[in-house]
Amino acid sequence: MKITKLFLAVFAMGIILASCKKDDEFTTQFIERDHQEVYDENIAEIEAFLESHTFNYAEFQDNLPYSDLSTSPATITPNDSYKIEFSELDESSSDLSIMDFLGSTTYPMLVVDTISQDGVDYKLYTLKVREGQGDSVHRLDKASVLYNGSLSDGTTFDSAVTVNTSFNLTTVGSNAGVIQGFREGLVQFKTSIGFSENESGEAVYHNHGIGAVFVPSGLGYFSTSVGSIPSYSPVFFRFRVISRGDTDYDLDGVPSHMEDLDGDGNGFNDDTDGDGLPNFIDNDDDGDGVLSRHEDIDEDGDPTNDDTNGNGIPNYLDATVSLSNQSS
């Protein structure tokens, strides 16, 4: 299943089922379950999994966390090819559970964040095996990720084993993004710093982020059944973050992530001209009637480095500079 298709935001939650009889017509409306009630069930299921399962942490810990590409020849760690594998603990096992890594001060570690939505404070558990040493990933970026999506019983519903495409992390208009829980997990990691080919000619990516995220359905598909994912099911993702790319949703020449002016990771709360449109989907950020891309005076394709009056504010964000001679 294609990730750009799989991770469509949930647009429609009301489903009408109609049934007709000869003498009695009636309509039954599907009633969505309470978000808090579903979350209580989901988090119990997730935490039970974390306490009853382990992963192949010893395989990671037995090797150098990162490759050193500055040496000649480069020191390549086997962890560049490491993949997280879950397994159930048995009574005789001395292995640590995934939950045992909560609050760890070294890699691997398990962290938990709280995300408030729909009147619910959701716990989002993220297993950070390796943060990565490449570029940070923003919520408004697109990314290339090797991943496996599964249910708590181990059923795989989607995966990507080769890097052949990238996908948007945030849904904007007709541009489909990923589910919120997956996105919030990914942005805690960094990309690879490069790649080389092994003896078989396969690409080996170096020093990329490696992790997993355990997503309650309220941060996933909730009441929608997608493929083999039942409604109200938590979903788990194991992933390796390979690369990121810019988006420019409003085609103003400014990468979307750079329109997050306060740097809080949330581009939706940056609205320079107060017109109700976040900068990253507003093609006239300062509301001066001149399109932002036309305030690129030196025509280098980058409006961020043009400051006509020298006040430290780029023209495209400065309503006091109105370049009326520019085409709009």
Residue 169 has a pLDDT of 96
Class of domain 3-7+29-245: alpha beta
Residues contacting 34, CB < 8 A, separation 6+: none
Place of tokens 């520019």: 326
Q: Considering the chain, tell me which residue range(s) the CATH 3.10.50.40 domain(s) occupy.
A: 3-7+29-245
The two tokens of residue 192 are: 């690879």
259 vs 1: which has the higher pLDDT: 259
Q: Are 286 and 314 in contact (CB under 8 A)?
A: no
Residue 29 has a pLDDT of 77
Q: Are 116 and 109 in contact (CB under 8 A)?
A: no
Dihedral sign from CA coordinates of 110, 111, 117, 121: positive
Place of tokens 């103003």: 252
What is 201-245 written as a DSSP string? Answer: S-EEE-S-EEEEEEE-GGGTTTT--BTTB-TT--EEEEEEEEEEE
What is 84-149 written as a DSSP string? Answer: --EEE--TT--PPPGGGGBT-SSSSEEEEEEEEETTEEEEEEEEEEE--SS-B--TTSEEEEEEEE
Q: Are 158 and 149 in contact (CB under 8 A)?
A: yes
Does residue 7 register a pLDDT over 50?
no
Does residue 256 register a pLDDT over 50?
yes
Please state, in angstroms and rounded to a whole number, the distance separating the CA atoms of residues 89 and 251.
51
The two tokens of residue 33 are: 């379950």
pLDDT (tens digit, 9 = 90+) per residue, 12-64?
434 333 444 444 555 667 889 999 999 999 999 999 999 999 999 999 999 99
Q: Are 266 and 304 in contact (CB under 8 A)?
A: no
pTM: 0.88
Q: Are 206 and 194 in contact (CB under 8 A)?
A: yes
| Phi, psi of 324, deg, nearest 5 | -65, -15
pLDDT (tens digit, 9 = 90+) per residue, 63-75?
999 999 999 999 9
